[in-house]
Amino acid sequence: MVAVLPWAPAQDPAADPAADPAAHPAELPEGDAAKARRPGAPGVRVVDVPDDAVLLPGLVDSHVHVNDPGRSEWEGFATALRAAAAGGVTTIVDMPLNSLPPTISPDALAVKVAAVGRPLVDVGFWGGAVPESLGHLRALRDAGVLGVKAFTSPSGVPEFPHLDEAEVDALMAECGQLDLLAVVHAEDPAHLAGDGALGVAYEPFLRSRPPRAEASAIARVLAAAERHGARVHVLHLSDAASLPLVRAARERGVRVTVETCPHYLSFDAAQIPDGATEFKCCPPIRDAANRDALWAAVASGEIDAVVSDHSPSTPDLKRRGGGDFGLAWGGISSLQVAFAATWTAARARGIDLATVVARCASGPARIAGLPDVGAIEVGARAHLVELAPEETWRVDAARLQHRNAVSAYHGAQLAGVVRRTWVAGEVVYDAGAPDPFSGARPGRLRGVAVTSV
């Protein structure tokens, strides 16, 4: 296979990382420009892709917790963006919490932008909808966030409080007026057990966050969105039995999308050993029948996207309480392995690569409102991945690029090896090179109007 890539020299390192798109001209051309960029034309490189590999659009992960600044010992932009590139992810959207300050105001967004520096891959941002920021979301929208995230239950960090039912209604009213996407962690605290030790067995933790917690919260969120004509996105769906609620809302005209995550599609509760808190996440990994139902919805397109919910912490927090599922940090580090894990499980079920790419690239791009990524088409950014879909590899957490060597996928045999990743036509990751990261940083910040503090 031959790939013809538009090319422009890398920017000067002192250049503004949030520069106008004209500073990053590497897009798939159209019309006369396309003719001018045939092999042999000036400004064109021809790249051979071996017969055992395929060329994919760069993946889009719209659910990533980078935690920088403030908790960069959990994860920072330097390590997270290397993990993204090594996993074929060319665009991430960063979540507004776990960093300090949380991204709940334009000033906080400016601090976040400053922490990014010159990005290896494209980076966008969700803002935060907390009680303090309600009534002020226009300023966040105008500063360039792609939407705002809210919790209906405690978030796990005190600086990002959740919204009660009346506040969720106010959020949807404000988002409806602004046509601003609300992305929601939907669990009903009335159905959740309180904080505290639960022991090293997984089952008590699973019982502490039952499916009805998701169903109740999703029903309330959808009702509020319907009342106010708001756009809403359900984050990290774990409970497949909640999907009929989403289906019925769509039939009534509610603009709702939904995602799930590789860990819900790869694991089931019966597989999780005692004390293995690397598998802890909220909402939790459920049983095999639930996993099958999620896969059916992924295959049909009822679930719009599969994204990582990469939520790392330091090893001591992840193993707090000596493997107690009630005390350990809830989050799975998976940015680099998310696509391979999803493809491995899909392949075993006879689901084709095109379907997986749609859920891991074009689906998240559409949710985040980024029409120029997630596909190989005229006018799109030249974000590309060379993938060997049948080649396998064993995950070694110590060799993954994210900051701390903890992963639920450690030891897993996965299919799908990312050999090269291009951002804006520039190689940012080459698995066959002595140093797989070339030094190029052609990524750009998406949407933000804030460029400095």
Would you call 132 exposed, middle or buried from its count of C-beta atoms within 10 A (0-12, 13-18, 19+)?
A: middle
389 to each of 187, 418, 427, how far by Cα in Å?
Answer: 36, 8, 19
Domain chopping of the chain, boundaries: 57-376
Q: Distance (Å, rounded) from C-alpha 409 to C-alpha 405?
A: 11
Tens digits of residue pLDDT in 105-121: 999 999 999 999 999 99
pLDDT above 70 (res 38): no
Return the number of other C-beta atoms located less than 10 Å from residue 351's C-beta.
Answer: 17
pLDDT band at residue 41 under the 50/70/90 scheme? low
pLDDT above 70 (res 10): no
pLDDT above 50 (res 303): yes
Q: Please state whether the predicted TM-score (pTM) of the whole model is above 0.85.
A: yes
More confident residue, 13 or 261: 261
Q: Distance (Å, rounded) from C-alpha 152 to C-alpha 78?
A: 31
- Report which of 324, 341, 321 is spatially closest to residue 407, judged by C-alpha positions: 341
Q: Distance (Å, rounded) from C-alpha 365 to C-alpha 90?
A: 11
Tens digits of residue pLDDT in 134-193: 999 999 999 999 999 999 999 999 999 999 999 999 999 999 999 999 999 999 999 999
Whether the CB-CB separation of 108 and 100 falls below 8 Å is answered with: no
What's residue 5's pLDDT? Answer: 54
pLDDT band at residue 31 under the 50/70/90 scheme? very low
Q: Distance (Å, rounded) from C-alpha 384 to C-alpha 5?
A: 9
pLDDT band at residue 452 under the 50/70/90 scheme? very low
pLDDT above 90 (res 29): no
Would you call 13 exposed, middle or buried from its count of C-beta atoms within 10 A (0-12, 13-18, 19+)?
A: exposed
Q: Distance (Å, rounded) from C-alpha 444 to C-alpha 123?
A: 6
Percent of the chain with pLDDT over 90: 87
What element of type H or E holds 363? helix 363-368
Average pLDDT in the 259-268 region?
98
What's residue 440's pLDDT? Answer: 86
Average pLDDT in the 257-262 region?
98
Outline where 144-201 has alpha helix (H).
Answer: 165-178
Give CATH for domain 57-376.
Answer: 3.20.20.140
pLDDT band at residue 36 under the 50/70/90 scheme? very low
What's residue 45's pLDDT? Answer: 76
Q: Distance (Å, rounded) from C-alpha 230 to C-alpha 171?
A: 9
Name the strands in the sheet holding 255-260, side by side, starting at the edge strand that comes first in the sequence.
Answer: 127-128, 148-151, 182-185, 231-234, 255-260, 305-306
pLDDT above 60 (res 327): yes
pLDDT band at residue 22 under the 50/70/90 scheme? very low
